[in-house]
Structure 1
Amino acid sequence: MKRIIAGLAVLMLAGCATKQVRPSEAHFVPADRAIALQTPVDGGGAVTIVRDAGFLGGGCYAGVFVNGTLAAKLNPSEKVRLYLPAGRSIIGAHSMGAALCGMKIQARGERASEIIVTAGDNLFYRLALSTDGTVTVTPIAQ
């Protein structure tokens, strides 16, 4: 009986997990949720951020922040292309929205990534939500 319960628990958690979406398969975020950094910068580069698909966190926007400024709000399977100047930036994300989505719970962390942009770059990053509510932004190969 314990094995059956353990097996069901694993299946339930697997059903909640998010799944990486290829940049070519993700949909661009609507213009009203692409808030900043939408104009190419001379000498800068493009950074595309793709949010995972899946049930976990699906009712909440994932707010994407660059150097602490809100740049976009993504739903699952959406992407946004941001134009950054050359140099170092910090990209982070966390849940946004009404009710539980907007609560500032310490257990829900944010793991930001440092990014170095050079002229002409076309970089890709994954936005994933773990089962403990931590949002991570990590580079992906294209």
Structure 2
Amino acid sequence: MRLILAVLPLLLAGCSSWKPDAEYIKPIPEDRLLGYQQVQQWGGQIEVTRDFGGMGSGCYVAVLVDRQLAARIGVGEQASFQVPVGTRVLGIGIDPLDDTLCGKGRLRRELAVKVEDGSRQQFRIISQNRGGFDILAVEP
């Protein structure tokens, strides 16, 4: 019984994600990049990386730009999106193209992102054992 009580916190901590080292990040394959890939005449770039972690690791997370499906991102993957200037809504959600158990849950997190001409902003998709998935800005 003591062994179970000692190991349980370690198992729960293992559900939280961690930021991958740069050499382990892979680009999302082109067949899962679904929008915002054309350079905008007046626009900026939004870059999204999904952390490593056990929670939901077998599932894709939908990356949404202005509430439109832009990509299906896996663990340790990264994508860049070319977006017009102005305030964009960057979000994550359940992958609507997934008809497995992964696509049956609920997930919606959104951020308002102010995009200026020529800007480049970075974001991380994290998973936490208590809070589930979230998307956060990466501080420069």
Q: CA deviation at 1:23?
A: 5.5
Range 10-19 or range 49-58, more displaced: 10-19
Q: Which residue of 1 aligns with 2:101?
A: 100
CA contact under 8 A between 2:92 and 2:107: conserved in structure 1? no
CA root-mean-square deviation: 1.9
CA contact under 8 A between 1:47 and 1:122: conserved in structure 2? yes
The TM-score with structure 2 as length reference comes to: 0.88
Q: Which runs of 5+ in 1 are unaligned?
A: none
Distance 2:82 2:21 in 1: 20
Q: Which residue of 1 aligns with 2:12?
A: 13
- Matched residue of 2:4: which SS? helix
Q: Which runs of 5+ in 2 are unaligned?
A: none
What are the equivalent positions in structure 2 for 1:48-127 lying under 5 Å apart? 48-96=47-95, 97-104=98-105, 108-127=106-125
CA contact under 8 A between 2:53 and 2:127: conserved in structure 1? no
CA contact under 8 A between 1:47 and 1:124: conserved in structure 2? yes
Distance 1:21 1:33 in 2: 20
Q: Which residue of 2 aligns with 1:139?
A: 137
Q: CA deviation at 1:8?
A: 1.1
- Matched residue of 2:91: which SS? strand
User: How many residues are treated as equivalent by the alignment?
Assistant: 138
Deviations 1:74-125 (A, max 9, x none): 1100000001100001111123223221014xxx442211100000101100
The TM-score with structure 1 as length reference comes to: 0.87
* Runs of at least 4 residues off by over 3 Å: 22-25
Q: Which residue of 1 aligns with 2:30?
A: 31
- Matched residue of 2:92: which SS? strand
CA contact under 8 A between 2:16 and 2:53: conserved in structure 1? yes
Percent of aligned positions that are identical: 28
Distance 1:90 1:23 in 2: 26
